[in-house]
């Protein structure tokens, strides 16, 4: 017997809704850019010279870290942290959430990294 989806059993005021997507990838810094790259066969993987390692193939996200962070925060943090801050802010912007009329206690974010 298959159990009903948990979404089917939640009242409307408790349903989970995905309202925004944010990402950065070697071949795009938005869902639209990524989609265009994938459809046109652009992978974003290229030769990179890495200190202490030499030349290697890699896909490096190319985005402006200063879009959502101060120089001080960038210096104190990690590259992975900057990727997360960028993607989270892009998701919030994509959602169009009206923060004045939204209960922030009911807002969450799901992060996936590969």
Where along the chain do its domains lie? 23-92
Residue 99: its pLDDT value, please? Answer: 87
Whether the CB-CB separation of 111 and 88 falls below 8 Å is answered with: yes
Per-position pLDDT tens, the chain of length 114: 455 555 566 676 677 777 899 999 999 999 999 999 999 999 999 998 988 989 999 998 999 999 999 999 999 999 999 999 999 999 999 999 888 998 888 888 888 877
Question: Cα–chain-centroid distance for residue 63?
Answer: 12
Residue 3: its pLDDT value, please? Answer: 52
Residue 85: its pLDDT value, please? Answer: 94
Could you tell me if residue 72 is left (phi over 0), alpha (psi between -120 and 50 degrees) or otherwise beta?
A: alpha
């Amino acid at each position: 017997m298959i159990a009903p989806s948990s979404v089917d059993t939640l009242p409307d005021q408790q349903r989970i809704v995905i309202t925004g997507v944010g990402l950065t990838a070697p071949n795009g810094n938005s869902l639209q850019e990524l989609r265009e790259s994938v459809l046109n066969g652009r992978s974003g993987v290229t030769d990179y010279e890495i200190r202490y390692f030499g030349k290697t193939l890699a896909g490096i996200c190319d985005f402006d870290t200063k879009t959502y962070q101060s120089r001080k925060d960038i210096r104190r943090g990690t590259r992975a942290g900057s990727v997360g801050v960028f993607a989270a802010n892009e998701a919030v912007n994509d959602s169009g959430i009206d923060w004045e009329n939204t209960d922030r206690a009911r807002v969450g974010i799901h992060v996936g990294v590969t």
